[in-house]
A and B are shown apart, each in its own frame.
Chain A
């Protein structure tokens, strides 16, 4: 049986988990094994019904009074006990912050290897994977030697698949793990929420990004305006956060946020590998740059050759004209 951790935050599923299930579905079909899912905490129960469309035949619902908010060690220990109880052969999660974290805890507890951010799997003996290095700039073919295969699936490596040939019924099996206080020593004890209505970079449909070519912190004002006109969110390159023009939370790249919008508009960004890793999930890329030879042009669908300070005001004015605003 192949087991996928469907990650959620206080009951809201993470879309990357559905990509992971699509990966798991193919793997399960190849091995002739069922795909089952695990949901942690009763808050997640409403998600169960929708998982049948993603190829899941059974959902294991982990129940425990203390499982109210995210607690990585408790999540991992519950999964370890579920593995022992069900005999899962492959256990997987999304290659998200939490997915990688929980699977690493599972791996540490079971003293087994784990391959993170896989883009392909060949379930022979030994189990072979292709996984991302350098944020996906490089791939590694590797073998995993372990009684249970533990992997995470690279974000945006496969598309979610919720179109089954025949809709399947999902059985929900409650599972009550034995968890001690020790497993809850790391848990979310408080939250500082983002202001409502602010779309996060990773979820934005349109991202307006700025690099060194924007010239200054004040130069981002015009990018903010463009983002407002397009209903988008502003991001930036590492050069910008290193210069102190924007907070690190806005940084797109290998050590910042990975984005996957319909359109990414990159102003004055040359396109170092570190940045490309963060924006290659975009469906369309429009680049505004003075340098026709900038590396980012090789990744772009459209380009405007010109200075940011000259192009943005003209573009904002043109959009206002088009929308009558």
Chain B
């Protein structure tokens, strides 16, 4: 087991009140596995990723739960411990590659720095490793790219460099936060292809955070769907996409145009995502849910139903 998260709760204590951005999240990832973490804006998917890497700043705090990375508890690790882990054993890929890249340093400087921060190797060896890493993510003429500055590269190339840096030290886990959202369709297909190939070859576990179910349908082994800080449904990709049980997952999948007859009105989820400062008591999805009744005033527990876990009192029954 590469990563096991249990009961993770990350809250933000703001002047306007407490925000339970992540409130009791459980999941685990095994070597070579890709888990899709799906949710809309404000669902807590990115904060879950940041919590694993120890990147939560005040007013935010991990208030409960355990994060075990290869058997070691890291939710309370010191900053020095995290510096040994980050970029080495656990790496992150951001939506905007300029979050990873320093605009005033050449690509080779940044890549060599990332290697030498964790390992004593000669500069020449580190340079060779960097060149090999750029080649692996499909960058043509890697020698030339190494001496370029980030602004000289296209958005797709920058994201490849960021992915190459993430894979540099052969990490056990990569957290990718919407890494293809800002990219074009053909470039997205290339990046997904490379990421899939690399995780298979290196047995790196990956958490792919996205709002796009269609992307993880073609990429992930398992999917966790988040809503308002909690995972509402979790299971194998085929189960979640083909046979969703939680009304929110059912609604999300039903509102995708390809699930509807051409030109017909789309099945839509009514209402909008709840205000995280004033969550409804009980199930957060209840105000938008057609199946909601009095029992939904309680928070449902995650329960195992036909091969996956669902947080719902009234899972959608299938014919």
A-B interaction = no
Binding site for A on B (CB under 8 A): none
